[in-house]
Structure 1
Amino acid sequence: MPNPSCVLRISMVRRLGVLLFALTTATCRVAPPPPSVAEPASASPREGSAEAVAATPPSRSVRTTGDESPEESVAPVLEQTSALRIPATQDAAGVPFVRFRIDVNQAPSRGPDNAPVTIVMFSDFECPFCQSGLEIVNTIEREYVGQIRFVYKAFPIDSHANAVRAALMAHSARAQDKFWPFHDRLFSQQGLSPDVLDRYAEAVGLDMPRVHRELDELTHAVALRRDLRQARRFGIRSTPTFFINGRHIRGAQSLDVFRSVVHQELALAEKWRREHGAQLDVYDHATRHGYVAVAKRGTRGGLNEDFIYPVPVGDSPQRGPATAKLTLVVFADFRCPYCARGHETIARLVARYGDELRVVYKHSLPPGRELAISAARASLAAAAQGEFWPFHDALYALEARFGEPDLSAVAQRVQLDLERFTRDHRSGTFDARIAADQSLAERLGVTGTPTYFVNGRPIEGAQPELAFRLLFAEELARADALLERGVAREQLYATLTSG
């Protein structure tokens, strides 16, 4: 998702990525990525390595998902596959062509599990090019009956208003054993809306009260975010994106292109099964040594969602119980309009999640903006009187449009001792705490405001409420798993963010 944010330093402004593929390719695109360098890599990214993704933080961190292995290969760019080397281990196994190992084990699929050709499609139900791409896949399935396994991966584009809802409903359909009828119905025409989605769901016989309950509870958020993480890991920026036995095809290419690759893969599958036995898992053989991620070098392209960052709470202002399953650490600036927008989102989340959510506030301020620094001091002067959150809420209600006199006016509005407030505000007493927050933000790799960490996992910018709720669903599941293992509530956050 795009990251509306106030950037802290000129040097941190992100440059536009270079388009490495023909612009005529038929795709729906998200925002351009940070620039990447097309050089092959032979080891997966880890802290401090030359191949590490741009977002590798300078501070200690751990991976969140277990999806990546230190022994696996990482490609430095996805869209320019012709520039990549075949990994040595893949070459030694006699597997030609650059390939990417897409995990298909938990994804919806149709066709034989042992099919010689597996086509993975990252798609968006509102993307017209995905509809065209699906028609090509359908033709391939008809022409090569019993030889194709088709695997769906969700990649809803930010600009498509109903794409996430459609993807979540598709997972609900899968839970009711009606994924493919619903999938095909959605692609039967464009122009989706909540009402149209409900009508299609009813048409294929879904239990609608169950569908709506699962939408409200985000029952399938973990499955959706699994696909989104994998797409991001492979540098996917557009739909449709295909992988045929791990070979990358971007966009709705011609039927002849698909036929050519399928013919090559069928011939290879026949050869491999002669050499290794008729029961060979062709997809595993073809992709076992393929690239498993895309590394971006030469840029610090933001925080990495695949990492848990050890963000200490310390003595920062917080609301919500310390034993909450969700801890949301906010790095923000009262003078940042995006932080004001984010504050409204966080307020809705607090109302929705109640005691399951703890919010912690830390200051991340641009250099030289005296009013922002003064506002931070004022908030801590309010905290000294036990009124940080009333002051915080009242100041953000001004939507970043305030001057120095407004700080005293807000203090009066929340009934602070004005004499003490003024003395503390002007004293510089809290500068060390502000500096400590600033130092922590820098160590973590925070480059703009607002930046959030949910149990250590980052969200950058003033994202919509749904983006938080999807991540919250994952983190609630992670917290519940630790509690079931016997972790004490008092140790939950420390355990969630530790290595």
Structure 2
Amino acid sequence: MHSSSFKRLLAGILGAGLLGLSCSAIADPAPTDRSELDSHIREYLMANPQVIRDALLKLEADEQTANTKRILRDLKGDIYSAGSPEIGATDAKVIIVEFYDYNCPYCRAAYPKIKDYLKANPDTKLVLKDIASLGKDSEAVSRIVIAATKQGKFETLHDALMTQKGQMTEARAVEIATKLGLDIEKLKKDARTPETSDALSRAQQLADRLNVPSTPLYIIGHNGISGSPEELIAQITQHANEIRKAGCDVC
């Protein structure tokens, strides 16, 4: 353990020890002599060893949170100002960032829940990062969807693709886009441009820098939620309410 970390740990332990001593001050006044005080603190820690464990856990959690916040601040522009597609309020108080893939079954399973949450919370928006992590089909679909943003059809196409079953391919994405009335010739042309390649690469590089383990991954403030757990909306609600109350120091 680094000396600075040890000092913080020691301070926490001593604080807890002194607190314990002060609670019994009337019956057993805390000594003023340093050696006696050290002895009392030792006795307290020996009688309450969980204090050391609790202090270690808190130190680890605090340092992990601080490191997470530092990384998110460093990447703030890439996360929130990179021109990624958005759904929801433009002046949202709460921003949810989602890393996803159109062939990810967990992303599809979570989509209706996220959609309902956005409807129920008009002060919230979703920033979408398609990282096409599941192979060539996913990358081809991602290019089609990125191209669709130039026709103002992102949200419509995104909704249609996320509610499909089975493997999503370029052919299926184009078929769906056709039914939605997109200009297919323009769509295919835009999907092959360097601009589209750059947009996809930026999302993938950001995922790599954040060490995104799998999809979906949601970021709300400095908190992350991986996968599609049963309590997904409960967790999102908790983190969103914290932001509503105290603001976001990394967004």
- Give the one of 338, 362, 366 matched to 2:133: 366
In structure 2, C-alpha distance between the alignment counterparts of 1:473 and 1:403, rounded to whole Å: 36
Residues 177-233 of structure 1 deviation map (CA, whole Å, 9 limit, x = unaligned)? xxxxxxxxxxxxxxxxxxxxxxxxxxxxxxxxxxxxxxxxxxxxxxxxxxxxxxxxx
In structure 1, C-alpha distance between the alignment counterparts of 2:52 and 2:131, rounded to whole Å: 41
The answer to whether structure 1 residue 381 and structure 2 residue 143 are counterparts is no
In structure 2, C-alpha distance between the alignment counterparts of 1:451 and 1:428, rounded to whole Å: 27
In structure 2, C-alpha distance between the alignment counterparts of 1:88 and 1:411, rounded to whole Å: 61
Normalised TM-score (structure 1): 0.39
RMSD: 3.9
**Structure 1 residue aligned with 2:197:** 431
Residues 89-135 of structure 1 deviation map (CA, whole Å, 9 limit, x = unaligned)? 96xx7xxxxxxx7xxxxxxxxxxx9998xxxxxxxxxxxxxxxxxxx
In structure 2, C-alpha distance between the alignment counterparts of 1:403 and 1:340, rounded to whole Å: 15
In structure 2, C-alpha distance between the alignment counterparts of 1:331 and 1:400, rounded to whole Å: 20
- Give the one of 338, 345, 361 matched to 2:113: 345
In structure 2, C-alpha distance between the alignment counterparts of 1:322 and 1:363, rounded to whole Å: 20
Aligned partner letter, 2:101: D
Q: Give the conservation status (yes or no) of the 8 Å contact 1:319–1:359.
A: yes
TM superposition shift of 1:294: 4.2
**Structure 2 residue aligned with 1:316:** 84
In structure 2, C-alpha distance between the alignment counterparts of 1:388 and 1:438, rounded to whole Å: 19
TM superposition shift of 1:413: 2.0
Normalised TM-score (structure 2): 0.72
Q: Relative to total residues, which structure has the larger helix share, 1 or 2?
A: 2
The answer to whether structure 1 residue 290 and structure 2 residue 52 are counterparts is yes
- Give the one of 104, 119, 123 matched to 1:336: 104
Any idea what SS the aligned residue of 1:345 has?
Answer: helix
TM superposition shift of 1:436: 0.6
Query: Relative to structure 1, is the Cα distance of residues 400 and 480 closer, same or farther in structure 2, using a 3 angstrom cutoff?
Result: farther
In structure 2, C-alpha distance between the alignment counterparts of 1:88 and 1:115, rounded to whole Å: 16
Any idea what SS the aligned residue of 1:445 has?
Answer: coil
In structure 2, C-alpha distance between the alignment counterparts of 1:426 and 1:456, rounded to whole Å: 35
TM superposition shift of 1:331: 0.5
- Give the one of 57, 72, 76 matched to 2:8: 72
In structure 2, C-alpha distance between the alignment counterparts of 1:114 and 1:472, rounded to whole Å: 40
TM superposition shift of 1:480: 3.3
Query: Relative to structure 1, is the Cα distance of residues 275 and 398 closer, same or farther in structure 2, using a 3 angstrom cutoff?
Result: same
The answer to whether structure 1 residue 472 and structure 2 residue 226 are counterparts is no
TM superposition shift of 1:43: 5.5
Query: Relative to structure 1, is the Cα distance of residues 89 and 348 closer, same or farther in structure 2, using a 3 angstrom cutoff?
Result: closer
Alignment length, in residue pairs?
A: 224
The 5 A counterparts of 1:91-130 are none
Any idea what SS the aligned residue of 2:192 has?
Answer: helix
In structure 1, C-alpha distance between the alignment counterparts of 2:225 and 2:65, rounded to whole Å: 8
TM superposition shift of 1:383: 0.7
Aligned partner letter, 1:475: A
In structure 1, C-alpha distance between the alignment counterparts of 2:148 and 2:202, rounded to whole Å: 18
TM superposition shift of 1:415: 1.2
Q: Give the conservation status (yes or no) of the 8 Å contact 1:326–1:475.
A: yes
What residue ranges of structure 2 are gaps of 5+ in the alignment? 32-39
In structure 1, C-alpha distance between the alignment counterparts of 2:3 and 2:148, rounded to whole Å: 53
**Structure 2 residue aligned with 1:411:** 177
Query: Relative to structure 1, is the Cα distance of residues 293 and 393 closer, same or farther in structure 2, using a 3 angstrom cutoff?
Result: farther
Q: Give the conservation status (yes or no) of the 8 Å contact 2:141–2:169.
A: no
What residue ranges of structure 1 are gaps of 5+ in the alignment? 1-39, 45-69, 74-86, 94-100, 102-112, 117-268, 298-303, 483-494
The answer to whether structure 1 residue 325 and structure 2 residue 101 are counterparts is no
